[in-house]
Amino acid sequence: MKLVILEAESLGEDMVFTPFHRFGEVVIYPATTADQMPERVEDADVIVANKVPICEKTIGQAKNLKLVCLTATGINNLDGEYLKKTGIAAYNVAGYSTNGVAQHTFALLFYVLEKLNYYDHYVKSGEYARGKCFSHFGQSFCELDGKTWGIIGLGAIGRRVAEIATVFGCHVICYSASGGKYDSPYEQVEFDELLRRSDFLSIHAPLNAHTENLMTADVFEKMKRSAVLINVARGPIVNEEDLYHALTEGKIAGAALDVLSKEPMDPENPLLKIQDSNKLIITPHIAWAARETRFRVVDEVVKNIQRFQAGDGTNRVY
């Protein structure tokens, strides 16, 4: 079979693609636009993609295509109706990034919460070397112990974050945007209560009709002024214009984001105007980028191709 990898650079320059060669001919493109796709997938049996749209316009001329493999969990770029109509199978990878994203969640929080940018600059500027006291109290911060950690989306990542937050002494509360009931030891609350009680609020939910534009100005008004928001899920869950005003007007204390509504970041994004790293940190969608996590993705895609060949529906989304 012919296998076409459309967005190799999205997996990192150190990625190894040799495991795919067991399936036949492999063609690798560092990046692919929607306009380039029809020609590149025309004679492919399998395509491996990440963010490019998979729809009639992009794959409609692919006469041999049998399988689409995503190097991601989210399936927003798939036209499910078209795939079902044409009988083209689609698989995603699930559970590969749980530890990496949970780890990054806390890295983001601690950077903002403990004012690490301020204290790093204090030392590197020479101020600490010129000081007279062994410690410095220029910016205050708090312990996690005894605080309330709110979670939107209690899937695998949300549960892992909940476990770690509990170890730090937090009381965990959770909310399901879809209205589902979680089978978990954590207190499930309504949205307004989640906002009112949370000292830290992290988002781990998929992007769908229930979560898109969930975090708006009205929502920020209901949060504690001392609260920190963490979004490592999907950018469009948070209204970035409203978040900008919430941060600059002191509606919440801080925010830590790994995802944005447009990636790479729109130069006109209002959040770029906030240069205070004690208030806001944005990382470029790297919560999943630990080396082990990225290589696990490729292993799972290889397994998904084998599953498809064996008629195994594990990880099949269409």
Give catalytic status of residue 196 as yes or no.
no
Please write the tens of the pLDDT for every residue from 24-42.
999 999 999 999 999 999 9
Convert 36-55 to b/e letters by CB count within 10 Å (16 or more is b).
ebeebbeebbbbbbbbbbbb
Give catalytic status of residue 234 as yes or no.
yes
Strand partners, 203: 152, 231
As a whole number, mean pLDDT of residues 106-125 equals 96
CA gap 213, 239 in Å, rounded = 6
Selected catalytic residue, list 104, 159, 197, 234: 234
CA gap 231, 229 in Å, rounded = 7
Please write the tens of the pLDDT for every residue from 240-252.
999 999 999 999 9
Mean pLDDT estimate for the chain: 97
Q: What are phi and psi of 83, to 5 degrees?
A: -65, -40
Q: Is pLDDT above 90 for 74?
A: no
Helix pair 156-167, 98-113: axis angle to 10 deg: 50
Give catalytic status of residue 193 as yes or no.
no
pTM: 0.90
User: pLDDT-based confidence at 5, cuts 50/70/90?
Assistant: very high
Please write the tens of the pLDDT for every residue from 262-291.
999 999 999 999 999 999 999 999 999 999
Selected catalytic residue, list 171, 196, 210, 285: 285
Residue (of 201, 292, 299) closest to 252 by Cα position:
201
Selected catalytic residue, list 22, 263, 291, 292: 263
Residue (of 192, 218, 217, 191) closest to 205 by Cα position:
191
As a whole number, mean pLDDT of residues 106-127 equals 96
> Are 211 and 241 a contacting pair, CB within 8 Å?
no
User: pLDDT-based confidence at 76, cuts 50/70/90?
Assistant: confident
